[in-house]
Amino acid sequence: MISWLRVIKQSIYTVLAGVVIIFAYILYLSIDLPSVDQLENYDPDLVTRIYSADGILLNELFFEKRVFVELSQIPQHMLDAVVAKEDQRFYDHWGISLRDVLRAVVINTVTMSYRSGFSSLTQQLARNLYDNIGFKKTIIRKIKEVITAIQIERTYTKDEILEMYLNSVHFGHGTYGVQAAAKRFYGKQAYELTLDESALLVGLLPAPARYSPVRFPERALTKRNVVLRVMRDQKFISKAEYTEARARLLDSVQQEQSRGTAPYFTEYVRRFLEREDDELGVNIYRDGLKIYTTLDSRLQKIAEDAVVKSVLTNQQK
């Protein structure tokens, strides 16, 4: 009897010691993670825009091309596509989906390899926002990611998390956020995106370079159709909507980005601002400024047309 009591006591002490060690390790990993203040003051880098005197956009300055847009300006089918494809239980979990964790553990154990991940949408957001979490596939990174995701869920509502995610995620070709992606690939505002266009953008998220509709249109089309099928299966869209959207081609995807109007003039403006931004207390590549210049786009076009006409005339002589 005494030996059994001793075994039980030792087992309890071992379990308690393990819990203390795990808790201490989690606290240690939390040291370099974002604080509550950082979480509450979400401040992403934004695109600075240079405008003509008549209000025409001439060029944009950025490190990461991002234009913040409110959730109300993003179409519902875009929100549905993200939830359907990236995190089906987004509105039910508290930062991580235990069911997805269990599924990933079973699959990876059975295959003896890393075949399935379990990153919730909130975990992806944590990874996107904070560099100190990292992107390497390690246990330590996963723990940091989970801790930060839980903190994010405690700080923000689900709609706020979805808004931040869609304004921070990378869509490829230097674009971050749905607004910048809509302008890059379709030349339109985010709220103008159609169902098939939204599905294509969401299809880029796992690997934007691999599924780029500019470089690999067939891959992008296949991935778009997968997103549409998932939306249909989860009752976000009807069979008729699925069939109609799936039949659309990628003709509307823009292959090239415009250099903008008056590139030499905007380059002069950029260099001038780089000399003055410290004195003004701004960062032209991060602060999302709107810069209005004296150039009139209508007169600029007349001048450029006159130069081209003159050159052609001289060549014909």
pLDDT of residue 147: 83
pLDDT of residue 143: 77
| pTM assigned to the model | 0.76
Domain spans of the chain?
2-31, 88-168, 170-260, 263-316
The mean per-residue pLDDT over the stretch 30-46 comes to 66
Interacting residues of 19 by C-beta distance below 8 A, sequence separation 6+: none
> Is it the case that residue 2 has pLDDT exceeding 60?
no
CATH class of 88-168: mainly alpha
Classify 290 as helix, strand or coil. Answer: strand
Distance CA 61, CA 157 (A): 31
Topology alike, domains 88-168 and 170-260: yes
Distance CA 32, CA 148 (A): 11
pLDDT in tens, 126-157: 887 766 555 556 667 777 788 888 888 988 99
Average pLDDT of the chain is 84
pLDDT of residue 288: 87
> Is it the case that residue 202 has pLDDT exceeding 90?
yes
The alpha helices in 209-262, defined as continuous H runs, are 217-233, 239-246
> Is it the case that residue 101 has pLDDT exceeding 80?
no
In percent, how much of the chain has pLDDT > 90? 41
Specify the CATH number of the domain 170-260: 1.10.3810.10
pLDDT of residue 221: 96
The mean per-residue pLDDT over the stretch 173-184 comes to 92
